[in-house]
Amino acid sequence: MVTTLDDTKRMAIGTKLADMKALQNLLIANEQKFISAIADDDLRKRIQDMLNDDQKNLGVLDTVIVQYGVKSEPKETTTKMIDEVQKLMEGSELTLFEKVSQHELLKHKQTMAGLLVHKAAQVVGADVEAAITPLNTINFENRAHQEQLKGMLEILGVRELTGQEADQGLWARVQDAVAALSGVFGSAVTQTSDRSDMTIGEILRMDHSKAKTLFMEIENSNDAQKIQEYFGQLYKDLMAHAKAEEQVVYPAVRSYYQDTQDLYDEQAEQARMLDEIKSMSPSSSEFKAKVRQLKDAINHHINQEENDMLPKLRDNFSSEQQQQMASEFKSVKSQLQDQMAASSK
């Protein structure tokens, strides 16, 4: 029987993403404090821009975690570290320079965590890479923030030590460093729009792409354990996706799309097929044949949604409404993932 237990490597990535979200909240809280503490208009403006990026990137992280589909909690050591840093940031033991210096170290930690997840995804599976793709932009922005913070530290440190102003040519050096980074990160820098405000169509297409990738991984593997891992993830993804659509998307589009009931019916049949395959051994002779049948049904369903239903959403809902629907979909899907994880324990 195919189980839906998480592969240990996938759970480790889930924990790292949970660590990143906890740290992202700390970065935001720090920057809000700095804005109140810094009198320099130029530095305050740079911190405000950084805060805007980080608030956006918190939404991007939420999207990545929901798309990834393996929920976890931050490590206890991460939670303890965050509590200790919060106390230092709220206290008077550290100077402003020292607090910003600690913040730069946290940015480095967040950058390395994001890069580690990206590299781990390349090893664990193509479906993981598909799920964490939006993380690339966060990784680039965090590296750019590090360069900005180095410039701020130079200004604050010189002021603290000498009472004088640092060489203002430093910002040109910072911009040169950021420009050099853009060459390293490639197209990630072209994706700096607010990806926390993705539309429902973009979110659904990400789900569809991940499902197709999981089908490909199942087809290409002859390792029963890996097949079990891939199908376990596919099962959870498709179940949560379908239920979230039925709660958020289909009721909204029903007045504009006359074949909405067909989508409900197709997903009911797909759920039956998923449960049937779940009860089979991945090493059985008919397992992959059943998966291919499911794949054909899912592809038909995806084509109907992307070619027929999504245009109705675009034509009848404003961009803001489509973004709000995406937020509701992610929230419901996240709750469903939590319920499925609790029921499997």
pLDDT in tens, 5-50: 457 888 899 999 999 999 999 999 999 999 999 988 989 999 999 9
Q: Report the C-alpha gap between 24 and 10 in whole angstroms.
A: 21
Predicted confidence at residue 2, as pLDDT, reads: 46
- Higher-pLDDT residue of 133 and 314 is 314
Predicted confidence at residue 113, as pLDDT, reads: 96
Q: Report the C-alpha gap between 121 and 133 in whole angstroms.
A: 10
In this prediction, residues 249-256 reach a mean pLDDT of: 97
CA nearest to 5, candidates 14, 286, 215 = 14
On the 0-12 / 13-18 / 19+ scale of CB atoms within 10 A, 79 is: middle
pLDDT at 324 over 70: yes
Residue pair 20/68 in contact (Cβ under 8 Å)? The answer is no
The model's pTM is 0.84
Q: Report the C-alpha gap between 116 and 61 in whole angstroms.
A: 15
Residue pair 69/131 in contact (Cβ under 8 Å)? The answer is yes
CA nearest to 32, candidates 80, 90, 87 = 90
Write down all domains in the chain, each with its CATH number in brackets. 8-197 (1.20.1260.10), 200-343 (1.20.120.520)
CA nearest to 283, candidates 235, 233, 231 = 231
Least confident stretch, 168-177, 261-270, 300-309: 168-177
pLDDT in tens, 69-115: 988 999 999 999 999 999 999 999 999 999 999 999 999 999 999 99
In this prediction, residues 153-170 reach a mean pLDDT of: 82
Predicted confidence at residue 164, as pLDDT, reads: 85
Predicted confidence at residue 185, as pLDDT, reads: 47
The two tokens of residue 330 are 């992610």
Q: Report the C-alpha gap between 277 and 290 in whole angstroms.
A: 7
CA distances from 186 to 122, 142, 146, 151, 177 (A): 17, 15, 18, 23, 14
